[in-house]
Structure 1
Amino acid sequence: MARDGWPYFDPEYETLSIRINPPSVAVDNTSCKDCTLVKVDSLNKPGILLEVVQILSDLDLIITKAYISSDGGWFMDVFHVTDQHGNKITESNTIEHIEKALGPKGHTADVLKTWQGKQVGVHSSGDHTAIELTGRDRPGLLSEIFAVLANLHFNVIAAEVWTHNRRIACLLYVNDDSTCRAVDDPSRLSTMGVQLNNILRGCEDDRNVARTNFSASVTHVDRRLHQMLFADRDYEGGCLSTEAEYPPSFTPKITIDRCVEKGYSVVTVSCKDRSKLMFDIVCTLTDMQYVVFHATITSDGPYASQEYYIRHMDGCTLDTEGEKQRVIKCLEAAIRRRVSEPPWGGGQLGMDSHLF
């Protein structure tokens, strides 16, 4: 007999567990004399570790130690943090922001939406249009890009530029120089895209050498720059990526072993400590579709040691040497993107540059 209908399903059922057990956030300034402890207990969900680390990094907090566990459907983290000067977090506004951002209403993930099959989409929001550029880095490239925009009557209001392995990823925020509003004219944006692609491509004919896109929505800037360079395969620098291009202290040591009894792959990273190091590693693992189940992060003077127990989202570990080498290369690239310097002079920007 055919069914006349389906059983009723309450759409709020999926969020029932979160509403019954909302995230718990505690900022503790008494347990440790040298740092502030941020404790987060919550139901586990994909990407939650990256969300938490991203929020702490955006506040320019230094994570000196961290203990992460997310087995059994529950997420429990303890972060030891300081400000940029090594002091505890005592400002009430900062503490309140941490509690609100990580609390019951704070877990909102920005998702980048792209228009499949289109080389040019557009994200125009109020007073700006966002442009994404990737291509081969060279002296004078930024000057040529800005000259094209000026000639087309676009005003650059902000920009973020990263370079690695002689590749460049750039996020530009522009508006019309007469109205100071976002530009959504398809013809004008298409003209801009063609001219910028020509600049990025230079004398190269390969379309994969350069890309100009207009982002379809907003995502975290640092994460998007990582995604752009990852998609550009900057980790496959080959002979372009020589140890001479990097300070010796920024040469990371990365190993991948197997925890047989627990069914994890264990990623160990040792390198010089710096701001946002944990964010860069967790961001890369997350975008490569790996889940962190446990982690221990420690800093010993100027150096950091980070250990991650991971599986792929499909539950598999890294069993082949090819898989391991790809993860190692991608993590090395993620660590070096913030510290790499171009091998030439002439005013070309290094990593993590804020133009405006």
Structure 2
Amino acid sequence: MEWPSCLNEYEKLIIRMDTPRVVIDNAVCPTATLVKVDSARKHGILLEAVQVLTDLNLSIKKAYISSDGRWFMDVFHVTDQFGRKLADDSVISYLEQSLDMKEHDFHRPDSAEGLTVLELTGADRPGLLSEVFAVLADLCCGVVDAKVWTHNGRIACLVTVKDKLSGCPIDGDPQQLHHVESRLRHVLKGDHGVCGARTAVSSITVAHTDRRLHQMMFSDRDYERHSPSAASSTSPAVSVQNWVEKGYSVVAVQCRDRPKLLFDVMCTLTDMEYVVFHGTIDTDGDVAHQEFYIRHKDGSPISSEAERQRMIQCLQAAIERRATEGIRLELCIKDRAGLFSEVTRTFRENGLLVTRAEVSTKGDTASGVFYVTSDAAGQPAHPKAVDAVRQRIGADYLTVKEEQRPQYRSKAGDDGDEEAQGSGGVGIGLFYLGNLFWRNLYNLGLIKSCS
């Protein structure tokens, strides 16, 4: 690689030492590709590795995480979205280069150059997304792309815009930018002046929208429940307990498996400034079990019941934000002024609520994915309402698509050496925890089995 001129030889040596070593193995496991990553430990590096895997739409079926001093070693069992081992050499090569993070600090992403990224958070309500798009269209802001999440009555939205007439970023004109923010803030507050509405121009290049949306909703405290009974029976099962002898807090998660589940959990642990020292991730059919051994950045475990409850609520929220609710509608149509406002207004007029959305424009084509329900509780949208919306927008332009789900494999058909990994779920007893270190060392290939 080409080194920046500002680095001396010692700094180059440190970077070489800290560069992750990546091994991709298709021979060891008959059902998955093994991705092994060894690197110097630093806060957030585990999340970076998981982010690379999820951005390639890979499913993480198992993972073993172990940290020894200043070094960490991870093994991920991954498949493609169809449950198959990785066979495409170009994908494997890209994966190796992406996990080799030595160049990440020297090159800022330039995909957002010439554009303005707006961050919006506030209380969700029916029709809010349509109002946001209408304001942007009225102020001659062209929407390049947008991503919207809703959870627990809150909404977070990242919108990338440019001036529709000049094609320039709107933050180049402070007066125009102030006007846009003021109008959007008024829309977010609504007629009743709801508190908590926030609009801002992203002060950093948003390299990863999902990562930023997690941070926005966490800052907006979407994890807070209005009452103890607010958590439904379908909420992810999360337990937190301390392993006093070793000085760890043990976090166990059990829920339905889905794409990007581990990424969502790791985002929250990182944002809450916890460090994962050891962990196991396992799936059995469509059920995921995750187990993490964590401490604060200062080395201390969770120290109070209030902190423990907050951890449980935050992890449940992180998992629920992306949980698929509603019918998936895909849009592909010729772009025009006010299109996204018109589409989302049509949803509202027919009693459909948008729970999650991702839209973009490229050239003269606009595309998007919308998840719609009949109410905030996630009740299924009525087929007649969906048909009415499709007829209004155009049945050829708006189609109903089933959510693509990964292929699940039950443990019943797995090898015997994997059977022991299924007991890492919620409610694990402390007598069992001491075996984790030996299991991880064995799974990482650092020791041999004594059996």
The verdict on a shared fold, with TM-score over 0.5 as the criterion, is yes
Corresponding residue to 2:188 among 200, 222, 231? 200
Q: How does 1:308-319 map to 2 (within 5 A)?
A: 308-319=292-303
After superposition, the Cα gap between the structure-2 partners of 1:49 and 1:106, relative to the gap in structure 1 and judged at 3 Å, is farther
Is it true that 1:61 corresponds to 2:48 in the alignment?
Answer: no
Q: Distance in 1 between matches of 2:178 and 2:256?
A: 44
For the pair shown, which has the larger CA radius of gyration, 1 or 2? 2
Corresponding position of 1:178? 165
Corresponding position of 1:142? 129
* Deviation at residue 315 of structure 1 after TM alignment: 1.1
Structure 1 gaps of 5+ residues are 1-9, 112-122
Corresponding position of 2:49? 52
Secondary structure of 2:317's partner?
helix
Q: How does 1:89-100 map to 2 (within 5 A)?
A: 89-100=86-97
Deviates more, 1:209-218 or 1:19-28: 19-28
* Deviation at residue 23 of structure 1 after TM alignment: 1.7
Corresponding position of 1:325? 309
CA contact (8 A) 1:126 1:181 kept: no
Q: How does 1:243-262 map to 2 (within 5 A)?
A: 243=231, 250-262=234-246
Corresponding residue to 1:354 among 336, 358, 383? 358
Percent identity over the alignment is 52
What's the RMSD between the two structures over aligned residues?
A: 2.5
Corresponding residue to 2:211 among 223, 227, 250? 223
CA contact (8 A) 1:137 1:167 kept: yes
Deviates more, 1:17-26 or 1:228-237: 17-26
One-letter code aligned to 1:37: L
Q: Distance in 2 between matches of 1:260 and 1:214?
A: 44
After superposition, the Cα gap between the structure-2 partners of 1:205 and 1:191, relative to the gap in structure 1 and judged at 3 Å, is same
Q: Distance in 2 between matches of 1:296 and 1:15?
A: 33
Q: Distance in 2 between matches of 1:52 and 1:329?
A: 25
* Deviation at residue 12 of structure 1 after TM alignment: 5.5
One-letter code aligned to 2:226: G
CA contact (8 A) 1:135 1:210 kept: yes
* Deviation at residue 97 of structure 1 after TM alignment: 1.1
One-letter code aligned to 1:142: L
Secondary structure of 1:70's partner?
strand
- Tell me which of the two structures has the higher relative contact order, counting C-alpha pairs closer than 8 angstroms and 6 or more residues apart: 1
Q: How does 1:17-32 map to 2 (within 5 A)?
A: 17-20=14-17, 22-32=19-29
Secondary structure of 2:30's partner?
coil
Q: How does 1:24-173 map to 2 (within 5 A)?
A: 24-103=21-100, 105-108=102-105, 125-173=112-160
* Deviation at residue 182 of structure 1 after TM alignment: 1.7
* Deviation at residue 126 of structure 1 after TM alignment: 2.9
Structure 2 gaps of 5+ residues are 1-6, 327-347, 361-451
Q: How does 1:332-347 map to 2 (within 5 A)?
A: 332-339=316-323, 341=325, 346-347=351-352
* Deviation at residue 125 of structure 1 after TM alignment: 4.2
Q: Distance in 2 between matches of 1:23 and 1:164?
A: 36
Is it true that 1:268 corresponds to 2:252 in the alignment?
Answer: yes
After superposition, the Cα gap between the structure-2 partners of 1:173 and 1:240, relative to the gap in structure 1 and judged at 3 Å, is farther
One-letter code aligned to 2:166: T
CA contact (8 A) 1:51 1:107 kept: no
Deviates more, 1:35-44 or 1:233-242: 233-242
CA contact (8 A) 1:294 1:310 kept: yes
CA contact (8 A) 2:225 2:231 kept: no
After superposition, the Cα gap between the structure-2 partners of 1:106 and 1:89, relative to the gap in structure 1 and judged at 3 Å, is farther
The count of corresponding residues between Structure 1 and Structure 2 is: 330
